Amino acid sequence: MISTELKSHFAKTRVLGQGSGRICLSEAEFAWLLHITASDLGITHADKIYSAPHEVPTFYEATIPPELPEGWSSLDVNALLNEFAHLCAEEADARLYFTNLCSILKRRVKFQRILSAQAKPTMDQIGPRSLLEYGVMPTDLLGNWMLWRKWIFDIDNRSGQETGYLFEPILASCMGGVAVGSRNSPVKRINDQGKQTSAGRQIDCLDVDGKIAYEFKLRVSIAASGQGRFAEELSFPVECKAAGLTPVLIVLDPTSSNRLTELTAAFEAAGGNVHTDDAWAFIETKAGDSMSTFIEKYLRPVLLQMASYDDVLPKSITLEWATDSIQISSSEETFKIERTGEQEDALDEE
């Protein structure tokens, strides 16, 4: 007998957002993610409800939407629910494993829609900015440069927003904790007089007992932290201590820097701990065997590969805007964004 709570969770896991911007994973996508979960955790499928041919793509190899076996699109939702319940019965962490895979896929699908629908800027929005550069740069180049940089800026803002909904919550869940927004945070800002205010501080991961506040950093470098922002980072452990929490800094790429040394000292002075060289081992100890597998397959390799680009100058790329697409190219590779002409405002709904 499948519980009502598990049925409700299964249904919610399928959907992101509402209205015209709603994302709903298909039966085939659900079958695919259930298959990945079972395969990764070494669980035998229940009653072999669907076949899984060898050519099924791995998670990051798949296109968006993924190209999956034709028969999977007609699978019955109740059969998929039974498979989900079977996986959860076989391995308690299968529920979180599958849920996190769904979360990543939904955000990836949504971001592809954002890329397709993000409106081209208008000079009504940005035209006055030309007063800063008109005559310094050739006029035709300036006009095109202003349009491109505004579009890229808007896309990057949307990317940051979507990542905020995704990265910390998933990593926190793997560690058995929860990401906490500033509104509900037990950590309050301290003013210039050294007194706590009512304004809260976001916590990347609050442990299950509510006693430890984890702060995640991909890398702490001089280039990545301006003076104002770094002052915010230094104040976090002090404010955690004032709230009765132990601050713990986890730096996923341990490349040394003066900023990292300074931030480490601030956490230790507040009675906290810092994990750099042992960061991933520490996370996986907190996560347990099953969720460590998730981290090793879907988080760590991506983040470490991207961190390596911190130390190199960007390559030259070409951006081309056509009526129905945008093409991004280097000398070796090309990526095309198909444009739909939709209004991107519809994608803002959560």
Same domain, 202 and 285: yes
Question: Is the residue at 136 inside a domain?
Answer: no
Among residues 267, 266, 261, which one has the least CA distance to residue 214?
267
Kindly state whether residues 332 and 236 are assigned to the same domain.
Answer: no
Residue 122 falls inside a structural domain: no
The reported pLDDT for the residue numbered 69 is 84
Could you give the count of Cα atoms lying within 13 Å of 72 in the half-sphere of its Cβ?
Answer: 22
Tell me: do 235 and 276 sit in the same domain. yes
In this predicted structure, what is the pLDDT of residue 226?
A: 55
182 lies in the same domain as 289: yes
Count helices and strands (H / E) in the chain. Answer: 10, 12
Structural domain contains residue 274 = yes
What's the Rg (C-alpha) of the chain? 23
- When divided into structural domains, the chain yields a total of 3
Are 317 and 291 found together in one domain?
no
Q: Do 8 and 46 reside in the same domain of the chain?
A: yes
Per the structure, the complete domain to which residue 61 belongs is given by 4-110
Edge-first strand order for the sheet with 212-217 is 178-180, 203-206, 212-217, 246-251, 273-275
pLDDT (0 to 100) of residue 342: 60
Please identify, among 83, 110, 137, the residue that sits at the C-terminal boundary of a domain: 110
Question: What CATH number is attached to the domain comprising 198?
Answer: 3.40.1350
pLDDT digit string (tens) for 236-261?
999 999 999 999 999 998 888 899 99
| Residues 201 and 292 placed together within one structural domain of the fold | yes
> Can you list the pairs that 197-205 forms with residues at least 24 positions away whose Cβ atoms lie under 8 Å?
201/236, 201/239, 203/179, 204/168, 204/171, 204/172, 204/179, 205/168, 205/171, 205/172, 205/175, 205/177, 205/178, 205/179
Domain boundary among 61, 95, 110: 110
> What stretches in the chain show pLDDT beneath 50?
224-225, 346, 349
Query: Does residue 144 lie in a domain region?
Result: no
* Domain presence at residue 268: yes
Q: H or E stretch including 7? A: helix 4-14
| Same domain (yes/no): 329, 255 | no
Residue 345: inside a domain: no
Is residue 33 assigned to a domain? yes
- Do 197 and 219 share a domain, yes or no? yes
Q: How many other CB atoms are found less than 10 A from the CB of residue 213?
A: 29
The answer on 314 and 294 residing in a single domain is no
Instruction: Judge if 182 and 294 occupy the same domain.
Output: yes
What end-to-end distance do the CA atoms of the chain give, in Å?
A: 32
Do 285 and 218 belong together in one domain? Answer: yes
Residue 35, pLDDT score:
92
Q: pLDDT tens digit string along 36-60?
A: 999 999 998 876 666 666 678 999 9
Domain-embedded: residue 127: no
